């Protein structure tokens, strides 16, 4: 019976491919993936300072992500999977206090059959201090 060894070999091949032995993807995160902020650079500024560039380091940042600084949502000047650069206007740092910073990856439209994704915002907000 030659069919038994062939069936066993095919079964082992299917199990091997399905158990994580495939190559991992290096694709950037898709929209709707939950972003995570690990750190801000700088972490604080003096009240009344001029506009500055804020670097946000983390994971799962989509190329079309948006940043919310306090209550103002803005588009980054640069966005990659693990780093976002955004210009913070001087008007946003006029007063002392702690400002929440979040990153939002937009969702995807569902198309005629549904299946889209919802937007995802980093949680909890990372705080930026204005001295």
pLDDT digit string, tens, across residues 52-106: 999 999 999 988 999 999 999 999 999 888 999 999 999 999 999 999 999 998 8
Residue with the larger pLDDT of the pair 110 and 75: 75
Q: What is the pLDDT of residue 11?
A: 63
Q: What is the pLDDT of residue 32?
A: 60
Q: What is the pLDDT of residue 22?
A: 47
By CB neighbour count within 10 A (0-12 exposed, 13-18 middle, 19+ buried), where does 107 fall?
middle
Q: What is the distance between the alpha carbons of residues 20 and 6, in angstroms, rounded to a whole number?
A: 23
> How does pLDDT run across 13-57, given as a tens digit for each residue?
556 555 554 444 445 555 567 899 999 999 999 999 999 999 999
Stretch 127-131: mean pLDDT, rounded? 91
- The two three-digit tokens of residue 73, written as one number: 């949502």
Exposure letters 119-130 (e unless 16+ CB within 10 A, then b): ebebeebbebeb
Whether residue 106 contacts residue 62, with contact meaning beta carbons closer than 8 Å, is answered with yes
CATH 1.10.1670.10 fits 25-109+117-130, yes or no: no
Q: What is the pLDDT of residue 34?
A: 87
Residue with the larger pLDDT of the pair 106 and 118: 106
Residue with the larger pLDDT of the pair 120 and 41: 41
């Amino acid at each position: 019976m030659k069919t038994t060894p062939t069936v066993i070999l095919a079964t082992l091949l299917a199990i091997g491919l399905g158990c994580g032995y495939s190559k991992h993807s290096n694709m950037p995160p898709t929209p709707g993936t939950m972003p995570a902020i690990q750190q801000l650079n700088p972490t604080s500024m003096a009240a009344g300072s001029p506009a500055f560039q804020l670097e946000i380091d983390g994971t799962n940042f989509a190329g079309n992500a948006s940043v919310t600084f306090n209550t103002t949502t803005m588009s980054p000047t640069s966005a990659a999977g693990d780093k976002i650069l955004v210009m913070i206007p001087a008007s946003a740092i006029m007063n002392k206090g702690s400002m929440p910073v979040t990153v939002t990856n937009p969702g995807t439209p569902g198309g005629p059959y549904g299946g889209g994704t919802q937007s995802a915002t980093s949680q909890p907000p990372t705080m930026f201090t204005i001295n």
